[in-house]
Structure formats: C-alpha cells, structure tokens
Amino acid sequence: MEYGPFSHSRKMKLVLISPKGPLYRKRGGIFKRSLRYQPLTLTTLAALTPKDLPIDITLIDEGISEIPADLQADLIGLTVITGTAPRAYELADQFRAKGIPVLLGGPHVTLLPEEAAGHADSLCVGYAEQTWPQLIHDFIAGNLQKIYRQAPDFDLSDTTLPFPERHRFNREDFLTQAVFEATRACAHNCEFCVAPTAWGRKQFQHPVDWIIQDIRQFVERTGKRKLIFVDLNLVSDIGYAKQLFTALIPLKVQWFGLSTVLIAHNYELMELMARSGCKGLLLGLETVTSGSLKDAGKKFNSSVNYKELIGTLHKLGISIQGCFVFGLDHDTVDTFDATVELAIDAGIDLPRFSILTPFPATPLYQRLEQEQRILTKDWSLYDAQHVVFQPKLMTVQELEEGHERAWKKIYQYNNIVRRLWNAKNFQPLAITANLGYRFYAHNLHKFYTCDWPIEHRPSTIDVIKG
C-alpha cells in the first residue's frame, strides 16, 4: 500500500509494540507482571524518534498488557524475535487490513528480511539509531521506503545519541526499569548464536561517558541503584570493560550482567568488576559434555575450570546464573544428570537450562538444514524450550523430557539447599529467585505445551533411515 504525506493538522500517533512471546501464549503468562523487566528496545526507539516533529508515542509490551481492540494509530512498529514472529505477523496483518501502515524490525527481521517483507510496509534491518529518524521523516513526507538497512560503517560512538526514554512505561508494571546497555554484539562466533549472524562481530560500544551519564541521570531521577546490563558480553573488549567498571565505582551502584567464562583468565578484571558493584553474572557455561563445546564453536570455554571460576566469583561477592544448553551433538541421555550434578557441586546460585535452538540463518541452522535435521519451521516453537531439530544421540522425546527433568531436579528443595550451601549464598534474593525458578520448573509443561503431540514427532531412527 502507498501512503501519502502525513497531514500536520494534528499530532501523528505512533505505536511501538513488543508482541507477546511463547511464555505468554497461555492466558495470564507464567510470570506475574512484576517479574518482567522493562524492554529497552521500545524505550530506545521512542528516544530516537525525532523531537522536531509532532508525534504522540505509545509503547505497548504485550507480555504485560493487552493491545486495545480499538487501538488508534497512524503508524505501528513491531519488534520481532524468532519466537514472537508468528504473533508479530498476525498483528501486522490485522493492522494492515485496517489500513494502518506497519514497520517491522528486530533480530528476526534482520535474519530473515524476505519473510518479514510479506507482512510489513517497511522493514528496519539491523540497528536503527541512524535509520529510524530517517524512516519517520520519510513517512511524514509520504516517502516511506520498503527497507532501511544499517549502514556498514554504523557504530554507537555518537555521544549525542539520546538516552532510552524509560519513563514512558509505568514503573510499577515491571520488576525493574533499570535496564542499560553499554555495548552490542560480541567478538565470538558460536555456532548457535544469533548475534554474529545478525549484527556481525564488530564491537559496538557507547562511549563510557555516555552510559555513565545515562546511569547517573537514572539514579538521580529514581533513587534506584540496582541495574541490569543486557549487553551480550560485557567483557568482549577488556580495555573497554576496564574503563567502564572503573567509571562505575563512584556511582556506588549494584549491577547484574552477562559475561563469557573467559573472565576466569583475568583476576584483575574480576576484582575490578566486583569493586564496580557487580553482584551477579550470567555465564554461558553451555555444556558438561566433552566434544559438545567444539560442536558449538565454543571451544574457548574448555580452557576454564567452571568450579574454580564460580568459587572465585563467589569469594568476590558475585552470584552466578549459569546457563546450559541441551541437545548438542555429543549430548546423550546421560548429559542431563551430569549437568545437574555439576551445577550442584559448583554451587551455581541460579542454573538455567535451554534446548539448543537453530535460529534461522545461523551457522547451526544452515548445518542442520543441510543434514536434513530441521523438523519444523513453526517459529513460535523457536523459544529454546522446544525441540525443533533432530538431535544426534537422542530422540526428540528424550531431549524434551530430559530437559524438563533437569529443571525439576535442580529446583528440588534439597538441591536448592545443596547449591546455595556450596555457594555460601544465604541472601534473601537468592532464595526468592530460586523459589521463582522452582515454580517455573514445575510448570514448564503447562506453559510450553505445543500442538505437536510428542508421539507424532520423529525419532532419531526415523530420521536416520530417512
């Protein structure tokens, strides 16, 4: 559909939506509203919207609130990850049928623009810091292009970039508003990871002064000093990480973030991290199976003794959310119990298990497709909790059941106690978080039930026989 120039006789109504994901497919969702943290994507896009134009912006996180049936909008933007793509397309088709132009952006659109194009008036591929203001100007001028692509030389070094407009959401609706991002993308190249495929391996870094100013203003406005960094790998560039951590010290904040286990090789950095206020780290431990790390293109993890690293971080006052993935090519039915044992023995404060997911366009997806092991392209099942490919040394059923069993076992009361005892972590926050995850573990099957009966899914033997 073609759209003419936007009339300036009234304010333009722009609505930005984060569609609900698989976790929320069941009415009410698995988590209470207050257990979700505020999405940074929408507040970032709101901030980037040109301020010289009369635009009224509404943000909707469908994970916590319904989209009004009578939603009025001149333009709607949807952010799309693979698991939410079917829902995003459904919404986009409905809005377009009512004559409202729709824009799609986000990781899934960046991975599969040709597919997304069938559901949108325009696409934003890659990061939108430069393209979004242009897109809005073009729309108002009646000159909307079909696709806006991140320029090859794009980076985040512009010190005049606006800070995310977190205040646009109701603070009470979220566990926290204190969501920050200093860097994007990661220098590594793990076979299953979306980041290198979608955005390349370049280091995208906001200037340290920029992120510090964003945090300072937030602390002054809200009085809150507990922050989350959503950066995929905060220590991807050690020089940058050191500058950032040093600059955080005077702010006296406490923060939680993500890192690779390679931090084990740099005690000075771990110590600086702790002094800067780090209280929790999410570590991609991935697997205990020898051979699987190589399968995942993550051999660098094998240089680290997980138990020692976790012990060191605990001594520095840093709790660990340890993430494991099941279904790599060397994994067998024995992998589940072995992983649970390691998590208990190492005293991982909060273990998380996912099922290996070949997100489209990643090297893993391409390899499995070549090996004819992709079992479904129903993207709503690409949520890291369903088996969508044929595992090598297990059946689909064994992988799905083993994953669920591992969740239940690691969050049995006795195992929570053993882990936290080994971690010497008796803080109320750790206990509450474990009880929350215990609830999740025991309800996993209810919330992730899919319409693909397990008895109809192929087994290893079927697939190998072809």
Residue 398 binds which of ligand SF4, ligand B12, none (CB < 5-8 A, kind-dependent): none
Task: Tell the smallest beta-carbon distance from residue 199 to ligand B12 (Å).
Answer: 8
Region of 105-113, 277-285, 443-451, 456-464 interacting with ligand B12 (CB under 6 A):
105-113
CB 190, min distance to ligand B12, A: 9
> Is residue 358 within 8 Å of 321, Cβ to Cβ?
no
Which one, 233 or 339, has the nearer CB to ligand SF4?
A: 233
β-strand pairing of 204-205 with 183-184: antiparallel
- Phi and psi of 463, rounded to 5°? -70, -40
Nearer to ligand B12, 258 or 396 (CB): 258
- Return the closest-CA partner of residue 320 out of 304, 309, 329, 305: 309
Among the residue ranges 25-33, 166-174, 193-201, 287-295, the one whose residues contact ligand SF4 (CB under 6 A): 193-201
Q: Is 91 in the site for ligand B12 (CB under 6 A)?
A: no
**Of residues 46, 73, 88, 103, which one binds ligand B12 by CB under 6 A?**
103
Q: Should residue 23 be labelled a site residue for ligand B12 when binding is judged by CB under 6 A? A: yes
Q: Which does 188 bind (CB under 5 to 8 A by kind): ligand SF4, ligand B12, none?
A: ligand SF4
What residue number has its CB nearest to ligand B12? 21
Q: In the structure, how many helices (H) and strands (E) does the chain have?
A: 17, 14
From 41-49, 91-99, 247-255, 303-311, give the range in contact with ligand B12 by CB under 6 A. 41-49
Describe the crossing of helices 238-248 and 208-222 by its angle, rounded to 10 degrees: 30
DSSP characters over 63-97: TTSPPPTT---SEEEEE--GGGHHHHHHHHHHHHH
| Phi, psi for 130 (deg, rounded to 5) | -90, -40
**Number of Cβ atoms within 10 Å of the Cβ of 432:** 10
Cβ count within 10 A of residue 33: 15
Nearer Cβ to ligand SF4 (238/247): 238
Close Cβ partners of 350 (under 8 Å, ≥ 6 residues apart)? 319, 320, 321, 322, 430, 433, 434, 437
| Closest to ligand B12 by CB, 354 or 459 | 354
Hunting for tokens 């459904």 — which residue is that? 90
Beta carbon of residue 195, minimum distance to ligand SF4 (angstroms, whole number): 5
Which of 12, 14, 22, 380 touches ligand B12 by CB under 6 A? 22
Collapsed DSSP state (helix, strand, coil) of residue 176: coil
Amino acid of residue 460: T
- Pair of tokens at residue 178: 């204190």
**Residues in 272-301 that interact with ligand SF4 by CB under 6 A:** 284
**CA contacts within 13 A on the Cβ side of 462:** 13
The span from the first CA to the last CA of the chain, in angstroms, equals 44
| CB 197 to ligand SF4: min, Å | 9
Amino acid code (one letter) for 372: Q
Are residues 112 and 86 in contact, defined by beta-carbon separation less than 8 angstroms? no
Q: Nearest approach, Cβ of 151 to ligand B12 (angstroms)?
A: 12
Does position 83 interact with ligand B12 (CB under 6 A)? The reply is yes
Which one, 190 or 248, has the nearer CB to ligand SF4?
190
Pick one of ligand B12, ligand SF4, none as the site partner of residue 233 (Cβ within 5 to 8 A by kind): ligand SF4
Among 119, 184, 409, 438, binds ligand B12 (CB under 6 A): 184
Within 106-145, which residues bind ligand B12 (CB under 6 A)?
106-108, 111, 124, 127-129, 132
Burial class (CB in 10 A: 0-12, 13-18, 19+), 18: buried
CB 96 within 8 A of CB 88: no
CA–CA gap between residue 428 and residue 434 (Å, rounded): 10
Per-residue H/E/C for 403-440: HHHHHHHHCCHHHHHHHHHHHCCCCHHHHHHHHHHHHH
Smallest distance, Å, CB 300 to ligand SF4? 8
260 binds ligand SF4 (CB under 6 A): yes
Question: Taking CB under 6 A as the rule, which mask of x and - marks residues 305-344 in contact with ligand B12?
Answer: ----------------------------------------
**From the list ligand SF4, ligand B12, none, partner contacted by residue 184 (C-beta under 5 to 8 A by kind):** ligand B12
Q: Pick out residues in 214-243 that bind ligand SF4 (CB under 6 A).
A: 232-233
Residue nearer to ligand B12 on the CB measure, 14 or 264 = 14
**What are the residues binding ligand SF4 (CB under 6 A)?**
186, 188-190, 193, 195-196, 232-233, 260, 284
**What are the residues binding ligand B12 (CB under 6 A)?**
21-23, 36-41, 44-45, 77-79, 81-84, 103-108, 111, 124, 127-129, 132, 181, 184, 193-195, 230, 232, 354, 359, 383-384
